[in-house]
Homo-oligomer: A and B are copies of this chain.
Amino acid sequence: MAEHTVKAFDTEIGQLRGLIAEMGGIAEVMIRDAVDALANHDEALGLEVIETDARLDALEAEVDRLAVRVIALRAPMADDLRDVIAALKISGVVERIGDYAKNIAKRVTEMEHSKKLGPLTLVPAMADIAQGMVRDVLNAYGARDADLAVEVIKRDEKLDNFYDSLFRNLVAHMMESPSTISSAAHLLFVARNLERIGDHATNVAEMVYFAATGLYYSEREGGKKDI
């Protein structure tokens, strides 16, 4: 590519990364607000999260449009092309993370007995882990930091264990207090959504690892095949 084209490409890749960072920031706030809305039964905050999701959809569409334009105009090769494709994929994942947060927010109005549910007190700590994974994986993406990406991947196990323990906790709670079964069922989905957010952050972390090192995470030295 000619000098001025290279500069234009760098500017555009910078724009793509900026849009994704913005999406990540919004998704993080959505996770925190959704869980706060649930913990405090704050329907107005829940509604705000639901409405914010449209902003994430619009940003994803903007990433798509810009990525297609960059490919069409600059015809990037090899690493540069992979960078643009990664932006396309990561924006899609962040948009889905927002969907999970929206899904949590939607349950605020459905959980009338929420304040009585003991296991609800565990959810904010679980959300902290998920939110931290989203924040750090997008920092790792911005800085092409493979070590931070690996760190995020390892944290997913902690989140999975949290989910398993919350699942058992909720089932036990349902057996003891059948009147809270409906609310507890909603809380099961909330826990599941947080666990899925961690899975998606892990997927992004694996993409970041690959982009930074050229190796698949499962193929790294000392690593084992993750299924």
Set of chain B residues within 8 Å of A77, measured between Cβ atoms:
72
Set of chain B residues within 8 Å of A71, measured between Cβ atoms:
71, 81
Query: Shortest Cβ distance from A53 into chain B, in angstroms?
Result: 9
From B67, B88, B178, B182, A178 is in contact (CB under 8 Å) with: B178
Set of chain B residues within 8 Å of A189, measured between Cβ atoms:
188, 192
Set of chain B residues within 8 Å of A171, measured between Cβ atoms:
181-182, 185
From B92, B174, B175, A89 is in contact (CB under 8 Å) with: B92
Set of chain B residues within 8 Å of A167, measured between Cβ atoms:
185
A7, CB-defined interface residue at 8 Å: no
* Per-position 1/0 for A81-98, Cβ under 8 A of B: 110010011001000000
Query: Shortest Cβ distance from A48 into chain B, in angstroms?
Result: 15
Set of chain B residues within 8 Å of A175, measured between Cβ atoms:
178, 181
CA distance A18 to B117 in the complex (A): 50
Query: Shortest Cβ distance from A102 into chain B, in angstroms?
Result: 10
From B72, B85, B227, A88 is in contact (CB under 8 Å) with: B85
Q: How many residues of A contact B (CB 8 A)?
A: 28
CA distance A170 to B64 in the complex (A): 40
CA distance A157 to B36 in the complex (A): 30
Set of chain B residues within 8 Å of A44, measured between Cβ atoms:
none
Q: For A71, A77, A170, A192, which residue has the most chain B Cβ atoms within 10 angstroms?
A: A71
On whether the beta carbons of A68 and B82 are closer than 8 Å, the reply is: yes
CA distance A78 to B69 in the complex (A): 9
CA distance A192 to B77 in the complex (A): 41
Query: Shortest Cβ distance from A17 into chain B, in angstroms?
Result: 19
The 6 closest A-B pairs by CB, nearest first: A75-B75, A175-B178, A174-B181, A171-B182, A171-B181, A175-B181
Q: A72-B81, A174-B178, A188-B188 are in contact. List 12 more A-B contacts (CB 8 A).
A: A67-B85, A72-B75, A88-B89, A89-B92, A170-B185, A171-B182, A174-B185, A175-B178, A178-B178, A185-B188, A189-B192, A192-B192
